[in-house]
């Protein structure tokens, strides 16, 4: 695979997942058009790792300035949210509102499309942010700033691979929307994304936390993926972009908590 294609696909993935101001690259065809997930699927975990790097750099800077662990963790989490424009957080809130408040498939999908946030969505969003904040602070205290930043980078990669896999594993629940616009990645593309996410986790987590943490860091997001997969299939008969965002959030939380268990040591 040529280097320029990898860079172009990575740029498209970052434009899709984040609000980072990326200029068009040389010889890049229609850089700001909606990407085809079947082409850039392998780059999604790479883009997720770079999003994690944004949070990691904010964490290292705050730690270097002498900020206490709680404030350092808040700034790292804020950097993660700002980098994506709360893209995945919005999906989590919409999914919680739809799954929790709808009586049937049609009403659930209608609620998920509503831009207003309800009780279920607000509760899910608050709990998600608190869990991510708590996990980051715990890792920072128990594992130190360097290993904590590595965990953030790996979490960004594996959680976005999980969201992508959901789009491939279920049919579209509606005939329009972001999930339909970018298309399903296809089995081969999804498999490449999963392998890329696992490879990033292995390369980062094994040296920093060991094999046990790596295994747990892959199993925990898979469990979160399976739970949402079953819920989405039962409640709306498929997937949407919002559900993929919810999977990303829950997979990231599951990964950070699983790694933290091993960061404490014996």
pLDDT digits (tens, 9 = 90+) for 151-174: 999 999 999 999 999 998 999 887
Domain annotation covers residue 46? yes
Q: How far is the C-alpha of 161 from the C-alpha of 197, rounded, in Å? A: 6
Asked, for residue 31, whether it belongs to a domain, the answer is no
Confidence (pLDDT) at 29: 65
pLDDT at 108: 93
Query: What DSSP state is assigned to residue 116?
Result: S
In a domain, 33, yes or no: no
The reported pLDDT for the residue numbered 32 is: 61
Q: Does 175 reside within a domain? A: yes
Number of domains in the chain: 1
- Residue 26 above 80 pLDDT? no
* Mean pLDDT of the residues in the chain: 90
- pLDDT tens-digit series, residues 37-71: 878 889 999 999 999 999 999 999 999 999 999 99
Banded pLDDT at 179 (limits 50, 70, 90): low
Which residue from 155, 152, 129 is spatially nearest to 58, judged by alpha carbons? 152
The structure's pTM equals: 0.92
- Return d(Cα 80, Cα 55) in angstroms, integer: 5
Write down the pLDDT at residue 265.
58
Cβ-in-10-Å burial (0-12, 13-18, 19+) of 26 comes to: exposed
- Of 184 and 110, the one with more pLDDT: 110
Q: Considering the domain boundaries, does residue 30 fall inside one?
A: no
118: which residues sit within 8 A by CB, 6+ positions away? 97, 100, 101, 111
- Identify whether 56 is part of a domain: yes
Evaluate if residue 88 carries a pLDDT over 70: yes
* pLDDT value, residue 102: 85
For 57, the token pair is 């750099």
Tell me: pLDDT of 10 over 60.
yes
Q: What is the pLDDT of residue 38?
A: 78
Percent of the chain scoring above 70 in pLDDT? 91
Domain span including residue 111? 3-21+41-263
More reliable by pLDDT, 249 or 173:
249
152 within a domain of the structure (yes/no)? yes
118, part of any domain: yes
Q: How many CA within 13 A on the CB side of residue 143? A: 29
């Amino acid at each position: 695979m040529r280097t320029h294609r990898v860079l172009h696909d990575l740029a498209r993935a970052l434009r899709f997942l984040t609000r980072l101001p990326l200029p068009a690259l040389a010889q890049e065809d229609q850089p700001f058009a909606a990407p085809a997930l079947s082409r850039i699927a392998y780059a999604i975990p790479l883009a997720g790792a770079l999003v994690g790097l944004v949070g990691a750099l904010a964490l290292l800077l705050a730690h270097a300035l002498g900020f206490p662990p709680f404030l350092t963790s808040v700034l790292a989490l804020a950097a993660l949210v700002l980098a994506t424009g709360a893209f995945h957080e919005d999906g989590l809130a919409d999914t919680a509102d739809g799954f929790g408040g709808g009586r049937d498939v049609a009403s659930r999908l209608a609620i998920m499309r509503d831009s207003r946030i309800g009780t279920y969505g607000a509760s899910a969003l608050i709990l998600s942010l608190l869990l991510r904040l708590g996990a980051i602070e715990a890792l920072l205290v128990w594992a130190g700033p360097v290993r904590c930043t590595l965990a953030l980078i790996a979490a960004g990669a594996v959680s976005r691979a999980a969201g992508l896999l959901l789009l491939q594993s279920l049919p579209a629940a509606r005939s329009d929307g972001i999930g339909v616009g970018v298309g399903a990645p296809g089995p081969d593309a999804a498999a490449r994304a999963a392998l890329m996410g696992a490879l990033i986790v292995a390369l980062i987590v094994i040296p920093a936390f060991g094999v046990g943490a790596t295994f747990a860091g892959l199993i925990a997001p898979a469990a979160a993926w399976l739970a949402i997969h079953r819920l989405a299939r039962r409640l709306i008969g498929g997937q949407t972009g919002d559900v993929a965002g919810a999977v990303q959030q829950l997979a990231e939380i599951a990964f950070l908590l699983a790694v933290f268990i091993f960061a404490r040591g014996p």
